[in-house]
Amino acid sequence: MSEGKLPKGWKTISLDEISKFVIGGDWGKDPDKFWGEDFVEVACIRGSEIKNWGKEKGKTASIRLIKESSLEKRELIVGDLLIEISGGGPDQPVGRVIRIDEEALSHHPNLPKVGTNFLRLLRIVDNVDNSYVNYYLQYFYHSGEVVKYQGGSNNLRNLKYKEYSKIDIPLAPFPEQRRIVARLDAIFGHLDVLREKLDRIPELLKNFRQQVLTQAVKGDLTKEWREGKDFGEWENSTLKSLTDIDVGQAFKSAEFESEGVRLLRGQNIEPGSLRWNDTVYFPESKLSKFNHLYIKEGEVILAMDRPIISSGLKVALAKKEDLPCVLVQRVARFRPSKDLDSKFLFYLISSDSYIYHLFGEQTGTQIPHISGKQILSFEFLSPPIEEQLEIVKRVDALFDLADKIETQYQSLKAKIDQMPQAVLAKAFSGELVGQEVKEYVREVGELGMVAEEGKAN
């Protein structure tokens, strides 16, 4: 921002002009392998501490040994800034900044703190608020401008600090710096609370959906609906008695092509849906004898290798947009009888009871595998087909509700993720407003209440 566009009393000044002390860090030596009389133990803050700095403030810092003479120049005090000068990667530019506060110094209370050699200590002059400078450098980093000041390879980037130190900072008068920092502290405090609430919503929705499935397969979801109807009792069954499965063909990878018919492999299955961002194709002309392995809309597909991942069971219903595709080895397709609705089957094997059935029966080490026998040996109470259809209807409705909440969550999360940079932009143009934060606090509070109060009844 040019001088002419700055608020009255503001000026631009280079980072170098407001720096009273700058020095590189010291990684020192491993205390388990080295000791020297002129060495002292320190807590060494690394680049890996930056990611979770807001919550952890360097409590995971590494214990190292450095020379006493080095510590005298590098010991961190409240208000020091640490700038990352080496690190980063393809998706993360170098140049992240953290500020040392009382909490950061309270960890490892008996040890002095230093930065590693991948960080540079920057101490700001006394007549400039160091928190103000920290906020501006955060803004500068996330603006993307910092990439102009880096060199090195994609895997290890270096900050060209001499050039970086010449960047202009819009500097408010000192009393206004203090007011801006106080306002930013309050706003970002609200945002931290907001993020904590938002972070709980995906787990709440996951638990809600699983609660719905548990109630569905136990009969609780349709208990009142069932009263007075003569559809028959729920019967003890196994999957083997109500469905067959097909397992796909081992197509030769040497015959894969860049286009053709998609092959449905285990890596194309995620909990609840198929994904095609890692797709291989097979020539349609060579599939004439495998017509029986073409997937149809609404069929239930289960991965047999590594079927359970952190987000759930790799089972999906094929949709119209997934077609055409062909089943490959180590992937199972269910062929239910007329007494088992396909979508009820999908919900049944997506439930915790089926996951628990498989979990203790996995075989293998690096790539856990389940067999067709294990898949079909699941015992459960099977409702009459009419009640299966009603269960599907009710689960669909409740899942639609969860999907709407998730859409709201994603929209609000996107707003919150964009907000810090927007707030900082206003701060450094003299136009800071906090009303948006209050609106987001209200909105996320309401969203959290909807997710928490959602019940499968």
Annotate 210-223 with DSSP letters as a single string: HHHHHHHHHTGGGH
Handedness of CA 189, 194, 197, 198 (dihedral sign): negative
End position of a domain, from candidates 314, 336, 366: 366
Q: Is 28 within a domain? A: yes
Strand order in the sheet with 62-67: 62-67, 39-45, 113-115
Q: What is the pTM of this model?
A: 0.79
- The predicted pLDDT at position 111 comes to 97
* Mean residue pLDDT across the chain: 91
Q: How far apart are CA 369 and CA 347, in angstroms?
A: 21
Q: Is 371 within a domain? A: no
Whether the pLDDT of residue 79 is over 70: the answer is yes
Q: Are residues 223 and 107 in the same domain?
A: no
Using DSSP, state whether 26 is helix, strand or coil: coil
For the stretch 182-213, pLDDT in tens is 999 999 998 888 888 899 999 999 999 999 99
Alpha carbon 251 to chain centroid, angstroms: 35
Contact by Cβ (8 Å): 6, 433: no
Q: Are residues 328 and 198 in the same domain?
A: no
Q: Are residues 254 and 132 in the same domain?
A: no
Q: Is 56 within a domain? A: yes
End position of a domain, from candidates 366, 392, 427: 366
Q: Residue 278 CB: number of other CB atoms within 10 A?
A: 8
Q: Are residues 76 and 139 in the same domain?
A: yes
- Tokens representing 211? 């609660």
The CATH number of residue 255's host domain is 3.90.220.20
Q: Are residues 263 and 356 in the same domain?
A: yes
Range of the domain at 311: 241-366
Report the percentage of the chain scoring pLDDT > 70: 92
Burial-class residue 41 by CB neighbours within 10 Å (0-12, 13-18, 19+).
Answer: middle
Report the percentage of the chain scoring pLDDT > 90: 76
Q: Which has the closest alpha carbon to 343: 308, 394, 378, 307?
A: 394
Handedness of CA 387, 392, 395, 401 (dihedral sign): negative
Structural Rg of the chain based on CA atoms: 30
How wide is the angle at C-alpha 405 spanned by C-alphas 399 and 410, nearest 5°?
Answer: 120
Whether the pLDDT of residue 85 is over 70: the answer is yes
Q: Are residues 328 and 272 in the same domain?
A: yes
Q: Are residues 164 and 188 in the same domain?
A: no
End position of a domain, from candidates 171, 188, 218: 171
- The predicted pLDDT at position 386 comes to 96
For the stretch 282-307, pLDDT in tens is 999 999 999 999 999 999 999 999 99
State how many domains the chain has: 3
Q: Is 376 within a domain? A: no
Q: Are residues 262 and 313 in the same domain?
A: yes
Confidence of residue 71 (pLDDT cuts 50, 70, 90): very high
For the stretch 149-174, pLDDT in tens is 998 876 788 999 999 999 999 999 99
- The predicted pLDDT at position 33 comes to 85
Whether the pLDDT of residue 2 is over 70: the answer is no
Whether the pLDDT of residue 87 is over 90: the answer is no
For the stretch 233-280, pLDDT in tens is 999 999 999 999 999 999 998 999 889 999 999 999 999 999 998 899
* 184, HSE (Cβ side, Cα atoms, 13 Å): 25
Whether the pLDDT of residue 143 is over 50: the answer is yes
Q: Are residues 245 and 129 in the same domain?
A: no
CA distances from 287 to 56, 276, 328 (A): 56, 20, 12
Q: Is 123 within a domain? A: yes
Whether the pLDDT of residue 455 is over 60: the answer is no
- Tokens representing 40? 């002292």
* 25, HSE (Cβ side, Cα atoms, 13 Å): 28
For the stretch 367-421, pLDDT in tens is 588 999 999 999 999 999 999 999 999 999 999 999 999 999 999 899 889 999 9
For the stretch 6-59, pLDDT in tens is 899 999 999 999 999 999 999 999 998 888 889 999 999 999 999 999 999 999
Q: Is 322 within a domain? A: yes
- The predicted pLDDT at position 447 comes to 64
For the stretch 301-342, pLDDT in tens is 999 999 988 888 999 999 999 999 999 999 999 999 999 999
Q: How far apart are CA 196 and CA 446, in angstroms?
A: 14
Residue 59: φ, ψ to 5°: -70, -10
For the stretch 227-239, pLDDT in tens is 888 888 999 999 9
Q: Is 1 within a domain? A: no
pLDDT (mean) for 74-101: 93
Confidence of residue 365 (pLDDT cuts 50, 70, 90): very low
Q: Are residues 25 and 158 in the same domain?
A: yes
Whether the pLDDT of residue 457 is over 50: the answer is no
CA distances from 218 to 300, 387, 388, 427 (A): 21, 12, 12, 56
Q: Is 5 within a domain? A: no
**273-274 and 269-270 strand pairing:** antiparallel
Q: Are residues 344 and 390 in the same domain?
A: no
Q: Are residues 152 and 81 in the same domain?
A: yes
